[in-house]
Amino acid sequence: MKQELIERFIRYAKVNTQSDPESSTCPSTQGQWELARMLVEELKSIGMEDVTVDENGYVMATLPANTDKNVPVIGFLAHMDTAPEFTGANVNPQLIDSYDGGDIVLNKEQGIILSPNDFPELAHYKGHTLITTDGTTLLGADDKAGIAEIMTAMNYLIQHPEIKHGKVRVAFTPDEEIGRGPHKFDVAKFGAQFAYTVDGGPLGELEYESFNAAEAKITIKGKNVHPGTAKGKMINSIKIAMEFQQQLPADEAPEHTEGYEGFYHLLSFQGSVEETKLHYIIRDFDREQFEARKAKMNEIAASLAQKYGNDRITLEINDQYYNMREKIEPVRHIVDIAHEAMTNLGIEPKVKPIRGGTDGSQLSYMGLPTPNLFAGGENFHGRYEYISADTMVKSAEVIVEIIKLFEQKAS
Ligand SMILES: [Zn+2]
């Protein structure tokens, strides 16, 4: 399984699928089409059925049931794109057999080193087969590792018909990194009762809680007058914006929060006397506290409007996604089965809240409850990204084990 995973992963990693938030097409970039077509051919060649790619680049396929038991249809998803913030062109993966625990020279010419001094997690990988970058690009283990793991698990089940299972659906999706993954995902066509994204980090990660998320855009209009004659006339929008920020609790910011703590995050602040624009994101695991945060922003805006004039402040808040826990809790057994699958394989499950969102955060609200499983990578979205091929094997085994457990528990 290991060689098969390495071969697949490296082949996918070499296709540039970096997504682009400025693009309005779906997929946002042509490279994702190239990978989608490659995956369609591969799914067919390993013997998957109903292999389709729709006009938006969503690839779907079926592993038909080989049992008469009434097993729920389950799905596995991974995303094809890589992060926009770091280049995904000309990815040139390096293979390190039996890692010795020391420094890894990613790029000799440029002196780029992956060192356990900077990344102490490397200690866990002594003896593993590692795949790294050449120091000039990201690797794209997020989430091409997930694709390789799902593909390899499907191939394994096809090669081992003695393993009984229900119907399994798989999907490879575009544009997760720019938050649009589920936007054009056809839940009805996919036809699964539950699904798992294979898009998490290190071994054992199992996630079914995400933030509730919104963004807020505030525009403040000032009044510019020559500073020599401004007394009683000038209204400086920058200073009103600073007042807005100062009324938010200073310690409820990303740099002061962790675990289940929520925050307000000032993303950008662009201003002149005449006009200032603030862009925030709001995050909280608890729905009530999330609503309270939005209300707090409205209150501050209202009080400033009262002080400086109604037409000076506009505040626009849009929800982005919600905590998937609300939708997964009622079908909690899907998390328990993933937990059991890992335990059966000697993997210690690490259940933790995601301080962000996954495709599952949106899919769960579209009627497809979707927790997230580890895919194995470390240091996502940059040149120090790497993955252990041994962890990839574990991930593929977890997928197979989950499928087995669903069959065993059915009647
Ligand atoms: Zn990802």
For residue 358, pLDDT beyond 90 = no
Ligand 1 mean position, distance from CA 381 (Å): 9
Distance, CA of 366 to CA of 60 (rounded, Å): 17
**pLDDT tens by residue, 145-161:** 999 999 999 999 999 99
**141 CA to centre of ligand 1 in angstroms:** 8
Of residues 85 and 375, more confidence is placed in 375
Categorize the per-residue pLDDT at 409 as very low, low, confident or very high, splitting at 50, 70 and 90. very high
The pLDDT, as a whole number, for residue 120 is 94
Query: Could you tell me the distance, in angstroms and rounded to a whole number, from the CA of residue 336 to the centre of ligand 1?
Result: 23
Give me ligand 1 centre to Cα 177, in Å.
7
pLDDT of residue 170: 98
Residue 120 CB neighbours (<10 A): 9
Distance CA 198, CA 189 (A): 20
Q: What is the pLDDT of residue 357?
A: 85
Q: How far apart are CA 273 and CA 238, in angstroms?
A: 6
Q: What is the mean pLDDT of the chain?
A: 95
pLDDT band per the 50, 70, 90 thresholds, residue 324: very high
Cβ burial of 144 (10 Å; 0-12, 13-18, 19+) is buried
* Catalytic residue list: 81, 176
pLDDT value for 86: 87
Distance from C-alpha of 224 to C-alpha of 177, rounded to nearest angstrom? 40
Q: How far does residue 79's CA lie from ligand 1's centre (Å)?
A: 7
Report the pLDDT averaged over residues 32-44: 97
Q: Are 197 and 373 in contact (CB under 8 A)?
A: yes
Confidence of residue 264 (pLDDT cuts 50, 70, 90): very high
How far is the centre of ligand 1, averaged over its atoms, from the C-alpha of 340 (Å)? 24
- C-alpha angle 31/158/359, rounded to 5°? 40
Instruction: Check if the beta carbon of residue 326 is closer than 8 Å to that of residue 233.
Output: no
CA of 64 to the centre of ligand 1 (A): 27
Strands 372-374 and 194-200, how do they pair? parallel
What are phi and psi for residue 322, nearest 5 degrees?
-125, 165
- What is the model's pLDDT at position 179? 85
pLDDT in tens, 46-56: 999 999 999 99
Separation CA 258–CA 65 (nearest Å): 43
Kindly report, residue by residue over 171-225, the tens digit of the pLDDT. 999 999 888 888 899 999 999 999 999 999 999 999 999 999 999 999 999 999 9
Mean pLDDT value of segment 294-321: 95
| CB-based contact 201:380 (threshold 8 Å) | yes
Average pLDDT over residues 302-329: 94
| 55 alpha carbon – ligand 1 mean position (Å) | 22
Ligand 1: centre distance to CA 333 (Å): 24
The CA 323 to ligand 1 mean position distance, Å, reads 17
φ/ψ region of 194 (left if φ > 0, alpha if ψ in -120 to 50, else beta) reads beta
Ligand 1 centroid to 343 CA: how many Å?
A: 24
With contact defined as beta carbons under 8 Å apart, do 144 and 28 qualify?
Answer: no
pLDDT, mean of residues 250-269: 94
Q: How far is the CA of 313 from the centre of ligand 1 (A)?
A: 37
Supply the pLDDT for residue 216: 96
Q: Indicate if the pLDDT at residue 168 is higher than 90.
A: yes
pLDDT band for 241, please (50, 70, 90 cuts): very high
Percent of the chain with pLDDT over 70: 100
pLDDT confidence of residue 356: 86
| Residue 244 confidence (pLDDT) above 90 | yes
CA 5 to chain CA centroid, nearest Å = 21
Is the model more confident about 356 or about 122? Answer: 122
What does residue 72 show for φ and ψ, rounded to 5 degrees?
-60, 145
Res. 306: pLDDT tops 90 = yes
- Return phi, psi of residue 403, to 5°: -60, -40
What is the predicted pLDDT for the residue at 350?
Answer: 96
